[in-house]
Structure formats: C-alpha cells, structure tokens
Amino acid sequence: MKKILIALTLVIASIGAAADTWSPQATIGLVNVGTRSIEVSGGLTFACNLSGSVTIDAAGNASVGSLSLIEGFACPAIFFNSLPYTMVGNTDNTVTLQEVNMSGVTGHCFGDLTGDFNQATGELSFNNAVLPNVGTGLDCKISGTISTNPQVSFVP
C-alpha cells in the first residue's frame, strides 16, 4: 500500500510539473519577422506573411485564437481550422501548438507543431516543422520566425 501511495504521489507531482505559465496576461499579436518570410509547403512552397493572436489568461495559459496566412501567391488559400490551439511552453525552450489543423492548396494536414522559442525576444522559429498529411498527399512543412507583441515569455 505504501508503494502505491508513493507512486501516486510521483504521478501527481509530475503532472503538476508539466504545467507552463505564460505572461503577460493579454491578447498578443503575432506577425512574421521579415517580408513574406513564412514558408509553407506541401509539394509546392509558398512565401507568406502571417497574422494572428494569442490569448494569455489569468492562470497563465496560452492559446492561439486566430491565425492566417496573408500576402503572397496562394497564401490566402491556406487555412488554419478548428482554432483555438493550445500553446505549450516546454522545458527545452521549444513551444508546441497542439492539434493544428491546416488545409488548402497544400493539402490537409493535422498534428502538433513545435518550434524553438527565444525567451529574450519572444520569437518563435520553425525550421521545416512537419504537420502530417491526413490524406494521401505530402506532409505540410512550415519555416520562419514569428514575433509576439507585446513580447511574451513562459516559465516551464
């Protein structure tokens, strides 16, 4: 019985340790760094600008409430569906957007999207981050850097 209680305590502690806390509490703007610097591919590669927002609530939870690709050939024909996406800050200074659902000229892709996060600048960088294709086409890949305004940070 004592071993079961110890194991249960360890499980509860590890669940609590997995939580991240984002700041500041606000609605945060998302834009790409550079002109048409977000590259999206699914067979063909498109250079796009990005626009979106993240909401950080009073508990420090972050979720992407809007996200769109604008400006660039065929970019407005690529859609992010089923928002919001939970945004998780990981202990290795990466950030994961959970259950990203993207469709359009790139095909239909779904999954978690992870990129490197710079705590000093509040920028999130993707380097050929893969979203698996849910049909018969190619996986979708995303590259580029996204800035936050105001600048965000998290404690894993």
- Tokens coding 119: 């705590």
In a domain, 10, yes or no: no
In a domain, 12, yes or no: no
Percent helix, strand, coil in the chain (nearest 5)? 10, 60, 30
Q: What is the domain extent for residue 31?
A: 21-155
Strand partners, 47: 39
In a domain, 46, yes or no: yes
- pLDDT for position 146: 97
pLDDT in tens, 10-68: 333 333 344 799 999 999 999 999 988 999 998 899 999 999 999 999 999 999 999 99
In a domain, 2, yes or no: no
pLDDT in tens, 89-130: 999 999 999 999 999 988 899 999 999 999 999 999 999 999
In a domain, 13, yes or no: no
In a domain, 11, yes or no: no
In a domain, 7, yes or no: no
User: What's the pTM?
Assistant: 0.85
DSSP for 16-40, please give it.
Answer: HHT--EEES-EEEEEEESSTT-EEE
Strand partners, 23: 153
